[in-house]
Amino acid sequence: MPKVVFQLADGTETGVDARIGDSVMTAATQNGVAGIIAECGGNCSCATCHVWVREDFAHVVGEPDDLEEALLDLAVSERRPGSRLSCQLTLTEELDGLTVEIPPEQP
Protein backbone atom coordinates (compact mmCIF):
# COMPACT_ATOMS: atom_id res chain seq x y z
CA MET A 1 0.00 0.00 0.00
CA PRO A 2 1.81 3.14 -1.15
CA LYS A 3 1.92 6.15 1.12
CA VAL A 4 1.59 9.62 -0.37
CA VAL A 5 2.79 12.69 1.50
CA PHE A 6 1.13 16.01 0.77
CA GLN A 7 2.86 19.22 1.76
CA LEU A 8 0.13 21.73 2.35
CA ALA A 9 0.33 25.40 1.51
CA ASP A 10 1.19 26.25 5.15
CA GLY A 11 4.21 23.94 5.04
CA THR A 12 2.74 21.14 7.12
CA GLU A 13 2.79 17.62 5.75
CA THR A 14 0.15 14.95 5.89
CA GLY A 15 0.63 11.35 4.81
CA VAL A 16 -2.14 9.09 3.54
CA ASP A 17 -2.23 5.39 2.73
CA ALA A 18 -3.48 4.86 -0.81
CA ARG A 19 -4.36 1.94 -3.04
CA ILE A 20 -2.29 0.83 -5.98
CA GLY A 21 -4.06 1.97 -9.13
CA ASP A 22 -5.67 5.00 -7.53
CA SER A 23 -4.61 8.45 -8.64
CA VAL A 24 -2.82 10.86 -6.33
CA MET A 25 -5.90 13.09 -6.69
CA THR A 26 -8.16 10.30 -5.42
CA ALA A 27 -5.81 9.62 -2.51
CA ALA A 28 -6.12 13.29 -1.56
CA THR A 29 -9.85 13.73 -1.96
CA GLN A 30 -10.76 10.46 -0.23
CA ASN A 31 -8.65 11.45 2.75
CA GLY A 32 -9.81 15.05 3.07
CA VAL A 33 -6.55 16.66 2.02
CA ALA A 34 -7.18 20.38 1.49
CA GLY A 35 -6.18 22.07 -1.74
CA ILE A 36 -6.93 19.35 -4.28
CA ILE A 37 -10.22 20.61 -5.67
CA ALA A 38 -10.53 18.26 -8.66
CA GLU A 39 -13.56 19.96 -10.20
CA CYS A 40 -13.69 17.64 -13.20
CA GLY A 41 -13.43 14.48 -11.12
CA GLY A 42 -10.22 13.30 -12.71
CA ASN A 43 -11.06 13.75 -16.39
CA CYS A 44 -8.02 15.90 -17.11
CA SER A 45 -10.04 18.97 -17.97
CA CYS A 46 -9.91 21.41 -15.03
CA ALA A 47 -6.32 21.73 -13.72
CA THR A 48 -7.58 22.21 -10.14
CA CYS A 49 -5.60 19.19 -8.98
CA HIS A 50 -2.21 20.71 -9.73
CA VAL A 51 0.70 19.59 -7.56
CA TRP A 52 4.45 20.02 -7.56
CA VAL A 53 6.18 16.64 -7.45
CA ARG A 54 9.35 16.63 -5.35
CA GLU A 55 12.49 16.31 -7.42
CA ASP A 56 13.47 12.90 -6.01
CA PHE A 57 10.35 11.37 -7.57
CA ALA A 58 10.36 13.29 -10.85
CA HIS A 59 12.05 10.47 -12.78
CA VAL A 60 9.58 7.91 -11.41
CA VAL A 61 6.39 9.77 -12.32
CA GLY A 62 7.67 10.65 -15.78
CA GLU A 63 6.47 13.40 -18.06
CA PRO A 64 2.92 14.67 -18.69
CA ASP A 65 1.25 13.72 -21.97
CA ASP A 66 0.19 16.40 -24.47
CA LEU A 67 -3.26 17.02 -22.98
CA GLU A 68 -1.94 17.34 -19.45
CA GLU A 69 0.88 19.50 -20.73
CA ALA A 70 -1.60 21.95 -22.27
CA LEU A 71 -3.79 22.02 -19.17
CA LEU A 72 -0.87 22.73 -16.87
CA ASP A 73 -0.49 26.06 -18.64
CA LEU A 74 -4.01 26.95 -17.49
CA ALA A 75 -3.47 26.15 -13.82
CA VAL A 76 -3.86 29.17 -11.55
CA SER A 77 -0.65 28.44 -9.70
CA GLU A 78 2.90 28.86 -10.88
CA ARG A 79 4.19 26.16 -13.17
CA ARG A 80 7.41 24.46 -12.03
CA PRO A 81 9.55 21.60 -13.40
CA GLY A 82 7.70 19.18 -11.10
CA SER A 83 4.21 20.39 -12.05
CA ARG A 84 1.73 17.60 -12.64
CA LEU A 85 -2.00 17.12 -12.51
CA SER A 86 -2.49 14.73 -9.62
CA CYS A 87 -5.40 12.97 -11.35
CA GLN A 88 -2.93 11.79 -13.98
CA LEU A 89 -0.51 10.23 -11.49
CA THR A 90 -1.40 6.59 -10.93
CA LEU A 91 -0.02 5.03 -7.79
CA THR A 92 2.27 2.02 -7.91
CA GLU A 93 4.47 0.36 -5.27
CA GLU A 94 7.34 2.26 -6.85
CA LEU A 95 5.69 5.52 -5.81
CA ASP A 96 5.55 4.61 -2.13
CA GLY A 97 6.61 7.73 -0.24
CA LEU A 98 5.80 10.06 -3.11
CA THR A 99 5.78 13.62 -1.83
CA VAL A 100 3.95 16.40 -3.59
CA GLU A 101 3.41 20.04 -2.71
CA ILE A 102 0.01 21.66 -3.03
CA PRO A 103 0.19 25.17 -4.48
CA PRO A 104 -1.06 27.94 -2.20
CA GLU A 105 -3.60 29.18 -4.74
CA GLN A 106 -5.63 25.99 -4.33
CA PRO A 107 -6.56 25.94 -0.61
Binding site for ligand FES (CB under 6 A): 25, 38-40, 42, 44-49, 85, 87
State the SS3 of the chain.
Answer: CCEEEEECCCCCEEEEECCCCCEHHHHHHCCCCCCCCCCCCCCCCCCCCEEEECHHHHHHHCCCCHHHHHHHCCCCCCCCCCEEEHHHCECCHHHCCEEEECCCCCC
Nearer to ligand FES, 17 or 39 (CB): 39
Question: What is the nearest approach in angstroms of ligand FES to the Cβ of residue 97?
Answer: 22
Q: Residue 11 or residue 66: which is nearer to ligand FES going by CB?
A: 66
> What residues form DSSP beta bridges with 91?
none
Least gap, CB of 51 to ligand FES (angstroms): 10
Task: Find the shortest distance in angstroms from Cβ 48 to ligand FES.
Answer: 6
Q: How far is the CB of 47 from ligand FES (least distance, A)?
A: 5
User: Which residue, 11 or 35, is less far from ligand FES as judged by CB?
Assistant: 35
